[in-house]
A and B are shown apart, each in its own frame.
Chain A
Amino acid sequence: MSERDDKFVAALHGMRSADQEAESELLRQVAAGERAADSFEPDAVDEDPETQALLLELSAPVSGDFRASLADRVEAQLHAERDAGAKTNVVSMGAFRRRRAGVVATLAVAAAAAFMVMRAPPTDDDAGGGDALGLVDGAAVGYTLEVTKTPRSSRGGDPEPAEGAGSGTKEDPVTLQVPTSGEVEWILRPDKVGAAAVDAKVFVRGPGGGLTPAGDEITVVVAKTGAVRVSLRLDEAPYVRAGAQVDVVVVVGDAEAISDIGDDAGVEVIGVKAPGAKRFIRFSVD
Chain B
Amino acid sequence: MEDITPETIRRALAGDRSSLDHLVATLSPAIQAEVARSLVRGGAVRGRDGRQEVLDATQEIFCALFANEGRALLAWDPEKGRKLVSFVRLIAKRKVISMLRSHTKSPWTDDPTESEKLDVIAGGARDDLHHEERDAVSTLWSRLKPHLGDRGVLLFQLLFVEERDVEHVMERTQMSRDAIYAWRSRLRKQARNIGQEMGLR
List residues of chain A with CB under 8 Å of any chain B CB.
1, 5, 7-17, 19-21, 23-25, 27-33, 46-47, 51, 54-55, 57-62, 66-67, 70-71, 73-75, 77-79, 81-82, 148-150, 152, 157-158, 224-225
B72 within 8 A of A: no
Q: Known: A11-B160, A71-B20. Is A27-B28 also a contact (CB below 8 A)?
A: no
Within the assembled complex, what's the spacing in Å between the Cα atoms of A232 and B85? 31
Are A12 and B137 closer than 8 Å at their CB atoms? Answer: yes
* A/B interface sample: 22 pairs, CB < 8 A: A1-B138, A8-B161, A11-B161, A12-B141, A12-B160, A16-B192, A16-B200, A25-B33, A28-B30, A30-B33, A47-B189, A55-B36, A58-B36, A62-B55, A67-B25, A70-B28, A78-B13, A78-B69, A79-B15, A81-B69, A82-B69, A158-B52
Known: A67-B28, A74-B20, A152-B49. A81 touches B15 (CB 8 A): no
Using a CB–CB cutoff of 8 Å, the interface residues on chain B facing chain A are: 13, 15, 17, 20-21, 24-25, 28-30, 32-34, 36-37, 39-40, 45-46, 48-52, 54-56, 58-59, 62-63, 66-70, 85-86, 89, 93, 126-127, 129, 133-134, 137-138, 140-141, 144-145, 156-157, 160-161, 188-189, 191-192, 195, 200
Q: Which residues of A contact B188 (CB under 8 A)?
A: 15, 19
The answer on a CB contact under 8 Å between A77 and B66 is: yes
Task: Find chain A residues with CB under 8 A from B34 CB.
Answer: 24, 27-28
- Give the number of residue pairs across the A-B interface with Cβ within 8 Å: 160
A152-B59 in contact given A15-B188, A23-B37, A81-B69 (Cβ < 8 Å):
no
List, in ascending order, chain B residues with CB within 8 A of A51's CB.
40
Q: Is the CB of A225 within 8 A of B36?
A: no
- Residues in A with CB closer than 8 Å to B195 are 16
A84 and chain B: residue at smallest CB distance: B69
Are A11 and B156 in contact (CB-based, < 8 A)?
yes
Given contacts A13-B137, A149-B59, 14 further A-B contacts (CB under 8 A): A12-B140, A28-B30, A30-B33, A54-B46, A58-B32, A58-B51, A59-B36, A67-B21, A71-B24, A74-B63, A75-B15, A75-B17, A79-B15, A225-B17
Residues A78 and B66 in contact, CB atoms below 8 Å apart: yes
Determine whether the beta carbon of B191 is less than 8 Å from that of A12: yes
User: Is B141 a contact partner of A27 (Cβ separation < 8 A)?
Assistant: no
Min Cβ gap A52→B in Å is: 10
Contact A148 B45 (CB under 8 A): no
In whole angstroms, how far apart are the Cα atoms of A23 and B40 in the complex?
13
Q: Most A CB atoms within 10 A — which of B86, B93, B129?
A: B129
When the two chains form their complex, are residues A73 and B141 in contact, meaning their CB atoms are under 8 A apart?
no
Q: How far is the CA of A168 from the CA of B70 in the complex (A)?
A: 30
Contacts of A31 in B (CB 8 A): 28-30, 32-33, 36
Most buried by B among A10, A57, A58, A73: A58
Which residues of chain A are within 8 angstroms of B62 by Cβ–Cβ distance? 70, 74
- Cα distance A149–B54 when bound, in Å? 11
Q: Closest Cβ of chain A: how far from B102's Cβ, in Å?
A: 16
